[in-house]
Structure 1
């Protein structure tokens, strides 16, 4: 699974992307975020406030209950505002 981080999430995690193999049972965006948060202090800081994070799976907007599986591209980013 390819995980992409944008903006301040990238800064906190310390990388723009990484390839991960989550353990069995990590089958949703929410479970993936929980698992990623435990990978390092930077990951923990990035995922500390889930309400301020948006996600896309295979370039489609996703919610915490959206399924994820091996081979997916999962992107985490802050909400985008225009004006």
Structure 2
């Protein structure tokens, strides 16, 4: 979460044992009161089966902020990839 977008700075703390997880599937539900993101993994052994592992609930306002930050971040990533491809 970036509070810098609102002119504020927050100090983030990360535990030394912070877990990184891989997810290759997600769903999104948007309602009037909340936006629910579900993340999981495709079962490689059983066709057409996904195991949901995480559910994140956001307010609509925070979901919109997340979308804006993702849009900017992905656009910057694509710009860098295009620049690197032009140098190769």
Rg bigger for which structure? Answer: 2
Higher relative CO (Cα under 8 Å, sequence separation at least 6) belongs to: 1
Whether these two folds match at TM > 0.5 is no
- Give the TM bin, normalised by the shorter chain: under 0.3
